[in-house]
Amino acid sequence: MLRAAAKNHADVTVAIDPADYPTILEQIRTYGDTLPVTRFELAGKVFEHTAAYDALIASYFRSQRDGAEMPSSLTMTYDLQAAMRYGENPHQRAWLYQDAIPCAGSLPLAKQINGKELSYNNIADTDAAVALLKEFDQPAVVAVKHANPCGVACAEDVLRAWEKAFEADPVSIYGGIVAANRTIDAETAAAIKPVFLEVLIAPGFTPEALEILTAKKNLRILVLPDIALPIPAGTFAIKKILGGILVQDQDTQVFDPEQLRTVTHALPDPARAADLEFAMKVVKHVKSNAVVLVKDLQTVGIGAGQPNRIGSLKIAIGNAGEKTKGSIMGSDAFFAYRDCVDAAYEAGVRMIIQPGGSIRDEEYVKVCNEYGIAMLFTGMRHFRH
């Protein structure tokens, strides 16, 4: 009925938002009827409302068809959560919309309990931190700067995980975003307090921790109880392009253990198996070309977003310094040239894990055999653009 009334807006006033009632009543009192321009605007709001309703129903039916082909026309609906001060830059307008059916463990469901209003960049970077945090079951802390991880660590408790994540890159973490998958206690809060952060998000904070952290009036503190929940199956990653969108499955895999194979004479140290998986969990969240160096469930060097892989590796090595020695190198895609193997060996890397698949794989295996480096192929690429 709403839709039918809106189709006849030339003669019918249709209202779905109580906020419009005062305008409607005032115009009727003044003019004896609503103005044509008002009826036109109200009809537009109705069509937006009914379109969102239909899109929700279509989305539900689509979700019930496991493995179904994507529809020829894709309809989605989101609810406005906030108008932002500005976008990536002050001259850009911006808004935050959330899924009409909220997704558990997602950032729009977080509750802010301290600090200034979240900016567009705060939200984008915090979402990147939360996505990486979801890779880990053990206590973990993720630090992100400009949508790239700069320090990631797992440990026996959240305090040690924080200390390791901070040690990984104490320079880049300045002004960054930090996410933890365990409740922040007073001891951890005291360790975090001296560091300037834009956002701190965790499943909870003890009262003592909040007393310490809320003394920093500008620190944005977010609580997301379900932060560790994995990304739900069947969800999509969407990228807007001019004139359309790109839609793909979320990259929820790391590698298939049955496809993992050692291709060198040197065998990986079984005691470092967790580091190998840790490296690939992190590298899949780093902008391609991506290289990470890890040791003892801690990133010691991260290279991101360079137009060639050796450039990313040099950045990672430069950040790691002496910590490169004995580290594991993870790469999001295969090597184009042997320069990455040479540079890794010279820096002290002793194990490499990468997807494989290059026409030069045999050459790289031979070089690794000469150097005594163990190299593993996962068979699974993790580009992130």
How do residues 206-256 score in pLDDT, each as one tens digit? Answer: 999 999 999 999 999 999 999 999 998 878 899 999 999 999 999 999 999
For 78-98+110-223, CATH number?
Answer: 3.40.140.20
Least confident of 51-60, 286-295, 306-315, 354-363: 51-60
pLDDT of residue 133: 98
Residue ranges of domains in the chain: 2-63, 78-98+110-223, 252-377
Task: Take residue 149 and report the two structure tokens written for it.
Answer: 């991880």
What DSSP state is assigned to residue 110? -
pLDDT of residue 150: 96
Q: Which CATH superfamily is domain 252-377 in?
A: AICAR transformylase, duplication domain (3.40.140.20)
What is the distance between the terminal CA atoms of the chain, rounded to a whole angstrom?
Answer: 45
Task: Take residue 238 and report the two structure tokens written for it.
Answer: 């969407």
Q: Judge if the upstream peptide bond of residue 369 is cis by omega within 30 degrees of 0.
A: no
Position 55 pLDDT exceeds 90: no
Is 382 marked active-site?
no
Least confident of 64-68, 125-129, 281-285: 64-68
Q: How far apart are CA 356 and CA 376, in angstroms?
A: 8
Interval 17-29: pLDDT, tens: 999 999 999 999 9
The predicted model gives 353-380 an average pLDDT of 95
Q: How far apart are CA 35 and CA 276, in angstroms?
A: 67
Residue 346 and residue 340 in contact, taking contact as beta carbons nearer than 8 Å: no
Residue 287 and residue 385 in contact, taking contact as beta carbons nearer than 8 Å: yes
Is 252-377 the same fold as 78-98+110-223?
Answer: yes
Q: Judge if the upstream peptide bond of residue 181 is cis by omega within 30 degrees of 0.
A: no
Residue 300 and residue 279 in contact, taking contact as beta carbons nearer than 8 Å: no
Residue of 49, 146, 193, 366 marked active site: 146
Interval 121-174: pLDDT, tens: 999 999 999 999 999 999 999 999 999 999 999 999 999 999 999 999 999 999
Residue 229 and residue 251 in contact, taking contact as beta carbons nearer than 8 Å: no
Position 268 pLDDT exceeds 80: yes
The predicted model gives 184-202 an average pLDDT of 98
Q: How far apart are CA 199 and CA 218, in angstroms?
A: 9
Averaged confidence pLDDT in the chain: 94
The predicted model gives 252-264 an average pLDDT of 95
Position 66 pLDDT exceeds 70: no
67 pLDDT band, cuts 50/70/90, is low
pLDDT of residue 344: 96
Where are the strands (E) in 192-243, listed by range? 197-202, 220-223, 236-241
Residue of 7, 116, 265, 325 marked active site: 7
Interval 78-91: pLDDT, tens: 989 999 999 999 99
Residue 167 and residue 150 in contact, taking contact as beta carbons nearer than 8 Å: no
Q: How far apart are CA 316 and CA 149, in angstroms?
A: 12
Position 65 pLDDT exceeds 90: no
pTM of the entire predicted model: 0.88
263 pLDDT band, cuts 50/70/90, is very high
Is 7 marked active-site?
yes
